[in-house]
Chain A
Amino acid sequence: MDAPFVVVAILNLAFVLGFLINMGGMLTWVERKQGAVMANRIGANRAYIPIPLPAKGGGIRWYKRFTMIGLFHALTDGLKMLAKEDYTPPFVDKFVYNIAPWFAVVPALVTFAVIPFGGPFQPGIMMSDVLGVVGLNSAADVIHGFFGDTTYQLQLANLNVGLLFIFAAGSTGIFATALAGWASNNKFSTMGALRGASQMISYEVFMGMSILGLLVVYGTVDMNLIAQMQGDVHFGFIPSWGVVYQPVMFFVFLTALMAENKRVPFDMPEAESELVAGYFTEYSAMKMGLFMMAEFIEIAVISGIMVSLFLGAYHIPGVHAVTDSWYWAQHPELTAANTFWGAEVPHAVVIIGRVLSFLIKVVLFCWLQILTRWTLPKFRYDQVMRLGWKVLLPISLVNLVITAAVVLALN
């Protein structure tokens, strides 16, 4: 626990928290606006910040069209939820009722801890690259001296059980549904909680089964290593991403994650059309806001998981950093360097490009999820059961057997 490590950890934490919370806010806007564009509408555009302008006849005229294409709606939503009365109904189980929203929001936040969003990097060399371009050479020397040439991870917690941690933390989210529904002492809430539980036993099984094929291919549950292993290129042009090895499981696992997030088409625990608001019917103000926030943060988290497992994590095909220990161990004939299709580039360019590539992939995935949410009708209760147990579980098992056979044959 030396000082540079703590600094890197704090910066990582700031990045991840800032990213998730902002994505949670932004996605409420994206959800409305994208849904509107998909339905030939204009979408949220009324929230404005009034700007005083001088009026023609003297005095002040308030300009009310500064709406920033509806971006302020996320802000007004947050303000509204904070300012509303936090009403606790008299018939609820106070302790469980109050603790349930945290079971929703904490798993959503901690899951991202093990997701590598930029891979191994050398902060000393990277910062001196950046500062050298600006011309602050003395500052560059100071920072290089502080960090040295040591390699750190752009990942909050480099756990060697990363994938298992994702499953463990993600499955905790169902406690929020069950506890909130039960503690609310309301028929709609209890129905929502029951549905959440039954939905959980539908998706949780094939969720685990579907990812086993990928584990057979990679042979590890370390997220950092899985990410590094996707940095290679086969036959000169096919990136060795998870989706290339397991194209069917890509869709199956995405289905499972979307079911875990309890959004349309898997929104039976909430089911506005049937259960008012499902398991959080009795919640108000920011407690209800925490459920909503968890849901939107989870979209970004799901995208992060999918990207780091199936879409090459932070990798850009053909771009390698000097710190990619796995890649250089695979290619002993090459000398380690920061390369872009063979050409040498500064370390900072590679790392910043990687973080950007990760963010772009995540944003595209969020777009895909919201597209799905606005396209598909809600599944019925029994349909999810049938889909999970009769369609997706057999597919996952067959896929696992085939993958294992192929891997065994190739080794």
Chain B
Amino acid sequence: MSEDKFGRNEDFPSIVQAQLLPQPAYQGEFTEGSLFTYRNPSKLTWMERLYLPAILSGLKLTASVFFGNMAQWTIWFFKWITGRATEADKGATTIYYPDVMRPDFSPINRGKHILTLRENDDPQCVACYMCATACPAFCIHIVAGEHPDPQIEKYPVRFDIEIDKCIFCGYCEEACPVDAIRLTPDVHLVDFKRERMVYDKEFLMSWNPTRSQEEHVYPGDRPRTSD
């Protein structure tokens, strides 16, 4: 090993030197004069270089996709006017997201939290702080209050989840002793304001699906009360 006056290893050539070294064999053809520019050899036959046959075969492919899908849409239309159309009948692999969820969207996907309810629409939660303790992101904030029913003892006066900090690990739902907090598959947790990404008790309890459909609220879409 030898070093030059700048202390560089001369066995390891500089970039300028490396360009002058013989290059590894490349299947393509090298342009004379410069080692680093080469051209891919043209492997097109004479017929392919005419463009037109290749273009026509490409058009044939896309047109066949077009007509296949249009036939599928026609079938969908006739099923639709008789009210028997399903998502699978459509001539498209995409869906009307977020109006429609993918049929293969996992029902056990961990998404937006809900607080389960008692018979009288009170929260099931007994404000034991187990979930807040288990939460690795420290994003559950509970203020406990005394419940009038001595059997229940405590209830959450406030129950806030900072959903933008949550990592959807599901520890809270594992930790809960009374099955009061659950994670639903909804992942549409978007908003234009950061303040609204703190989900309060009322919102966590307003998960009744029929209610939100009536108001045409997308799943997980927070009602825009204030701006």
List residues of A whose CB falls within 8 A of some B CB. 34, 36-42, 45, 56, 64, 251, 371-372, 374-376, 387, 391
Contact = CB atoms under 8 A, between A and B. Distances in A.
Contacts of B91: 37, 40
A40 B69 contact: yes
A38 B94 contact: no
B90 A376 contact: no
Interface of B: 49-52, 55, 58-59, 61-63, 65-66, 69-70, 73, 90-96, 214, 216
Contacts of A56: 214
A372 B59 contact: yes
A41 B59 contact: no
Contacts of A391: 49-51
Contact of A374 (B62, B70, B73): B62
B65 A42 contact: no
6 contacts: A34-B66, A39-B65, A45-B96, A371-B66, A375-B59, A391-B50
B60 to A, nearest CB: 9
Contacts of A374: 62
Contacts of A41: 92-94
B90 A42 contact: yes
A387 B51 contact: yes
A398 to B, nearest CB: 13
Contact of B58 (A39, A40, A376, A387): A376
Q: Is the interface of B mostly helix, strand, loop or mixed?
A: helix
Contacts of B52: 251
Given A56-B214, A64-B216, A42 B69 contact: no
A368 to B, nearest CB: 8
Nearest to B55: A376
A375 B69 contact: no
Contacts of B214: 56
B59 A371 contact: yes
Given A45-B96, A371-B66, A375-B58, A37 B73 contact: yes
B62 A375 contact: yes
Given A56-B214, A64-B216, A391-B50, A38 B55 contact: no
A265 B61 CA distance: 17
A351 B94 CA distance: 44
Contacts of A40: 65, 69, 91-94
A41 B70 CA distance: 11
Nearest to A375: B62
A36 B62 CA distance: 11
Nearest to A56: B214
Contacts of A34: 66
Q: Which of A36, A42, A56, A374 gathers the greatest number of chain B CB atoms within 10 Å?
A: A42
Given A42-B94, A251-B52, A372-B59, A37 B216 contact: no
B89 to A, nearest CB: 13
A38 B66 contact: yes
Contacts of B69: 37-38, 40
Given A40-B94, A371-B59, 15 more contacts: A34-B66, A36-B92, A37-B73, A37-B91, A37-B92, A40-B65, A40-B92, A41-B92, A56-B214, A64-B216, A251-B52, A372-B59, A375-B61, A391-B49, A391-B51
